Amino acid sequence: MNNVRREVYFSGQVQGVGFRYTVMRLAANLDVTGFVRNMLDGRVQLIAEGSSGEIDRLLDGIRDAMGGYIRDGETIKASATGEFRGFGVR
């Protein structure tokens, strides 16, 4: 199965609400690698690599858990680079 990469920029009230740690907890139960981090402009950046299905499950979980804080999410799709060993908060 080919892995893919999704880079998602979440905007809204996504900093200071446990967003990154919620994403990390969700990712721990899935076969995905990458990271989540706060950005200086108030958005949160997620980079995830894995199968499309696993990334969809991660994004669905984020929407279920944190949807009330998310105003928008800009997604960039690319080929996986394989650069990550695990998933973490930066």
Annotated active-site residue in 6, 20, 43, 57: 20
Is 85 tagged catalytic?
A: no
Nearest to 42 by CA among 76, 9, 6: 9
Decide if 20 is catalytic.
yes
Torsion angle of C-alpha atoms 22, 27, 29, 31, degrees rounded to 10: 170
Which positions are annotated as active-site residues? 20, 38
